[in-house]
Amino acid sequence: MATTLLLAGLMLAQSAPAITVEAQPGLDQVGYQALSAGRPDLAIERISADPVMSASDPAALINLGTAYARTGDRTAALARYKAALTSRDRYDLELADGRWLDSRAAARLAILMLERGKALALR
């Protein structure tokens, strides 16, 4: 897995801004394309199709949490964000504004945004 992932902020037509994660440009490995298209159910399906990734990869967990948040399941979203926070996997993510965040810091940000009624995803 790549050691860095690009994190970009997105504004959704729905109620909250989002950030989505994509391991390699052009691939939908962590549900980025489905999330950016406003299809959280499809993102859940695609991310969950790889049980290893959806159980341990911080980027996948954050996007899965975002997908659940967008479907209104805040409990499932929080569980995925917490799993990303405690994952043994850890790497840096670049924010849209050029700042870099450790994946655990991104997970903490996702939790904070969820508490404020917003969703975080990684690109």
In order of their start, the domains of the chain are 13-115 (1.25.40)
Q: What DSSP string runs through 1-57?
A: --SEEEEEEEE-SSSSEEEEEESSTT--TTSHHHHHTT-HHHHHHHHHTSHHHHHH-
- Which residue do the tokens 């917003």 mark? 118
Check residue 121 and give its pLDDT: 55
Q: What is the pLDDT of residues 35-55, one digit of tens each?
A: 889 999 999 999 999 888 888
For 32, other C-beta atoms within 10 Å of its C-beta total 27
Number of Cβ within 10 Å of residue 115's Cβ equals 10
The pTM score is: 0.74
In this predicted model, what pLDDT tens digit does every residue of 50-105 receive, in sequence order? 888 888 899 899 889 999 999 999 999 999 999 999 999 999 866 545 678 899 99
